[in-house]
A and B are shown apart, each in its own frame.
Chain A
Amino acid sequence: MTEGKTRNERKITARDMARRDLKVLDPIGPDELFPLPPPYDKAEEQPGWKELSEKAKANAVCTLDGIATTKLPSPRTPEEEKKYVDQFLEGLKKLLSRENNWEFLQPLTLSLEYCVGCQTCADACHVFMATDRRKEIYRPTYRSDVFRKLVKKYVKPGGQLLAPFTGADVELNWDTITRLYELAYRCHLCRRCAQTCPMGVDNGLIAHEIRKLFSQELGWAPRELHEKGTVLQLEVGSSTGMNPMVLKDNVEFIDEDMQDVTGFSADSPFDKEGAELLLIHNAGEILAWPENPGAFAIILNAAGMDWTLSSHEVGYDGVNYGLFYDDVQLARVAMTHVQIAKKLGVKKIVMGECGHQHKAMMAVADRILGSDAIPRESALTLLEEIVFSGKIEFDPSKNDFPVTLHDPCNIVRNLGIVEPQRRILRYLCPQYREMTPHGVHNYCCGGGSGFAVMSPFNFTDWRINVGSRVKFKQILDAFADQPGPEVKKYLCAPCSNCKGQLRDLLQYYGALERSGITYGGLVELIVNAMVDIKEPFIHWEIR
């Protein structure tokens, strides 16, 4: 066994996924990434990457790039391995059949058949870019190519016989499926590749379908997304483990705390029947960023809105991790949200500052709900309406510090909500500046598709160093006119998942101390600009 190839050896191709002579197909490390701008350019000043213990290595399957997201089974015999390979094959066939995959079969088939290999997507992918476009296994077409060849060889009639002529040269074995599983979790499903593809191929969808296959057929999914994610949410009421009693206690605490700070009413009504709008936050906001739900309450009350929160299980947690790995779990959560809203008799559901909640509820759920649909609105459009209604008095000079905006992929590229948040920022933040590129052409924060909540084994090193690399450079570039820590800057990210990732990123590099950058949502900036608040709402402290 060898540790893996060196960079100068022959280029890795799809068929190498099956290689059993390599412990690790293509190891990733800090020396393969493009250098960051100063003061983050000195490798010796960066935190080192975590070395996995031998025991941890035995538990994790690190055979793709030396990184692991999930504890997978450890088959002891070739027969046990074959059992999993057979399950994979069964799942592969189901993905390609109408009765089992009616939701996504058409775009999947088109994506499998229409790629012309032009590599336009390779210039769009922030993961591939992080390695200076050198690491083949992170090329957006690499994963799709492996998958496409497996379909050609093992699903198409006569595929194995014809394989020498069709180029379907990927063998199916234990190493292929475990590497493919991990590879499906090296893509953030941000779909920047799909946006740029001249043929309309969606490599992000292919990664998503691979995840779904593993979840539904083999029961393999990251623990944070499944067992401690959707399962916990449906059982207890929230992926955070918060039950309705703890929720009410926490919200009451936030209401009092925020009222003390601002002098404004932050009372949050619960379960108000017939209210105009039901606001569903990502429950992580309540626990980790209480200023966000607090600011929402202040704004909605100050504008005289008729609103409510739900204290019903699942009704107070907008997360829907099923979006990332399993349509069935997505449907269960989405249906529960709608049932709760209908029972309360509210006119519409408003999504808090959570990107994947927007995508799951406002786009994907349309395929599930049919005639059960209820109007759903983004908080961003609602906030725009309120800010420009004249109901609240603002003093933009209170926000006179550099502000830039991170566009959550699921709200902006994937739903097209681009301008409402910008109109608010241009009005309320005199030093607002855009990142390059931005809007629908933004780059993912690095925490997309659930990564922000995943930190098992050594995965945090990957998601910060590789996943967030392009975003971190963009953030630093946006503030390059005043890079020093003496100028306090605000990175606005209206999405809980993005905030979790950006918190870990800024913390990892010490960017608050070294560059003066803090982060937070949109509502915090709105409240900070309100004329009559007692004291500043935003602080440059560790958050």
Chain B
Amino acid sequence: MGELRLMKGNEVIAEAAIRCGCDGYFGYPITPQSEVMETLMIRRPWDETGMVVLQAESEVASINMLYGGASTGKKVMTSSSSPGISLMAEGLSYLAGAELPCLVVNVQRAGPGLGTIQPSQADYFQAVKGCGHGDYKLIVLAPASVQEMNDFVDLGFELAFKYKNPAMILTDGVIGQMMEKVELADFKPRWTKEEIQANCGDWACTGKKDRKRHVSTSLELDSELMEQNNLRFQAKYKEIEENEVRYEMIDCEDADYIIVAFGSAARICQKSMQIAREQGIKVGMLRPITLFPFPTKTIEELAGKVKGFISVEMSAGQMVEDVKLAVNGKVPVEYFGRYGGVVPTPGEIVDAMKQKLIGG
């Protein structure tokens, strides 16, 4: 068993980054995630592993520092909260277009605009539908516990490098700020020059002695060639959809109704399920762990067995659109959420389920 500790979600992101062999972190303070950079600074990973930690002058600078770092085949990451992620939209689009791997953590707060520093899940669309301009996708992981904050840092890098695409951990102020027991990963050394050569040798700045010249860019002015690039990206996203869907199913075997919820909302819904079952309502939960790729097929299959779905989100109803696409009209799909920084209570979720889905 790995080292056990009681830690805040944001602190765990920092610790996990050091332990998974991350080469560089670039960030800018914003509530509710400033602890990520503060923890890294106090941990001095540059002494321990050689990892760089830099406070940039803005989120625009952070994401472009990632662009530079990623081009060299290094494991680079940033973290921010919603308004800061909006500033990174341009960089993320360029990184995806240049097929470069990196990890971005969004500890969401409520918007739009400056909104509030309280938790939210209203950046779902931003995360899974692109964020910046053009046809591209981010690989999006949604942790529901401090343990998963730990686990998804390494997983995020693994997927980002496997598919040469930016990966995002989409979490929120609840998971970022809460303390839980966590089993930390064992230390993995940072990649050596030889390992970078072996893993990223055909595209990273490792020298082109034995290969074609590679330019890290998203630009291709020839439309025919740009379409080819896009086709390659789309094929990659399809491959991701086929191979990387992750989700958790809780008590779905005998369920009449399914709650679909991710991240902190899923934690609250576990209590709602318990209350509903005590009242004799057979409720199960599907918790998407990857938001892109979305567990569409699983929901489609469940749609043939249950009476209805309810998507519970800390947003005005975003993921519910993807649930509806998956269910495709077979059974009713409802939505319940609180937003603007308000966290729903387990009881009001049960009430909403009864009122909207079950009737009476």
A and B held together in a complex: no
- B residues at A contact (CB < 8 Å): none
Residues of chain A whose beta carbon lies under 8 Å from any beta carbon of chain B: none
